[in-house]
Amino acid sequence: MHSQPQLEALIQANNITNEEILDNLLTFINIKESLDNSQIYPWIFTIMRKNGKLVFKKTVAKNEYNAVVTRHINLWLTKICEPNPDAGLDKVRLSSEQRRELNDYLKRLKSAIATKKQKGLKGVYVYGANNTGKSYIASAIANDFASAGISSAYLTTSALYSYLITAMGNSSSPNSINDIINKLKKVNALIIDEIGLEKNNYWFRLQVLMEIIESRIANNKITFFFSGMNKSEFETYYQNQLRREPYKVKTFISRILNNTIEYCIDEI
């Protein structure tokens, strides 16, 4: 206890003895925790003496605790992929017109989803060159929306594919694939990063992803896509990759491109 400078100052100011510390050990441990983690600890403690006896008062802290807990509760499927915990939309550079327009639309979407008024609004398709911060913005959306109480899931297509393939070979969890797919259909904000970098697998692209995307469109769920390709490049790429199923791939492409607004985040 004495090693914590602020706590030691309280001990000295109130002439607290070691015996009193031992008699109230759990409370002092909590006080030390609150001082060591002041940004996220839910309580603030004050110590005083009344008629010679120690009195402890606990009040609600005005810090980031509620946002941290709310984010944790509303961030789904982190066992597959977890967003950068430090990413936040307030930290994203607004150095181009497209970035500013994207930022404004994200605010509109967050408000609409939170109030269940997103019907008629499109999702987002973000593209840009390497090292322009696509994954950072994707993580920031997941963090900010989850902290606002909106169920959110962030994943890369490669991570989802790898997880599902592993789950298929795990006989102890036969329902896990359907459980994951159902959650991806239901989550209020789905952020799909690095689309196009996944393995060229017909089952994954034209069955799993298609099923998730179509369900979300039908139920007015907002989806965010992040890619290194613009929409025109995206269309050509998937047509070349999935030649055996021209009709299905055309449908797959149209579901994504026709239900999103395109933003380029290159800093011009």
What's the pLDDT score for residue 118? 97
Confidence of residue 63 (pLDDT cuts 50, 70, 90): low
Amino acid at 27: T
Q: Measured between alpha carbons, how far is residue 173 from residues 164, 176, 181, 184, 209 in Å?
A: 11, 5, 14, 18, 21
Question: Could you tell me which of 203, 200, 90, 195 has the C-alpha nearest to residue 148?
Answer: 90
Q: Which two tokens stand for residue 35?
A: 């001082």
Amino acid at 228: G
- Beta carbons within 8 Å of 138's beta carbon, 6+ residues apart: 83, 126, 154, 191, 193, 224, 226
Residue 38 has pLDDT above 90, yes or no: no
Q: Which one has a higher pLDDT value, 44 or 123?
A: 123
Q: Which residues of 12-47 are buried (b: 16+ CB within 10 A; e: fewer)?
A: eeeebeeeebeebeeebebbbebbeeeeebeebbeb
Confidence of residue 249 (pLDDT cuts 50, 70, 90): very high
Distance (Å, rounded) from C-alpha 93 to C-alpha 99? 8
What's the pLDDT score for residue 171? 65
What's the pLDDT score for residue 65? 65
Domain boundaries in the chain? 5-60, 74-264
User: What would the mean pLDDT of 205-234 be, rounded to a whole number?
Assistant: 98
Residue 76 has pLDDT above 70, yes or no: yes
Q: 74-264 belongs to which homologous superfamily?
A: P-loop containing nucleotide triphosphate hydrolases (3.40.50.300)
What's the pLDDT score for residue 208? 97
Confidence of residue 268 (pLDDT cuts 50, 70, 90): low
Q: Which one has a higher pLDDT value, 212 or 15?
A: 212
User: What would the mean pLDDT of 58-81 be, rounded to a whole number?
Assistant: 84
pLDDT per residue over 78-127, tens digit each? Answer: 999 999 999 999 999 999 999 999 999 999 999 999 999 999 999 999 99
What's the pLDDT score for residue 10? 86
The DSSP annotation for the chain comes to -TTSHHHHHHHHHTT--HHHHHHTHHHHHHHHHHHHTTTT-SEEEEEEEETTEEEEEEEE--SSHHHHHHHHHHEE-TTT----TT--GGGS---SHHHHHHHHHHHHHHHHHHTT--TT--EEEEE--TTSSHHHHHHHHHHHHHHTT--EEEEEHHHHHHHHHHHHT-TT-TTHHHHHHHHHHH-SEEEEESTT-S---HHIIIIIIHHHHHHHHHTT-EEEEEESS-HHHHHHHHHHHTTT-HHHHHHHHHHHHTTEEEEE----
For the whole model, what pTM was predicted?
A: 0.78
Q: Which one has a higher pLDDT value, 179 or 43?
A: 179
Distance (Å, rounded) from C-alpha 2 to C-alpha 72? 33
Q: Measured between alpha carbons, how far is residue 116 from residues 17, 111, 222 in Å?
A: 56, 8, 11
Confidence of residue 41 (pLDDT cuts 50, 70, 90): confident
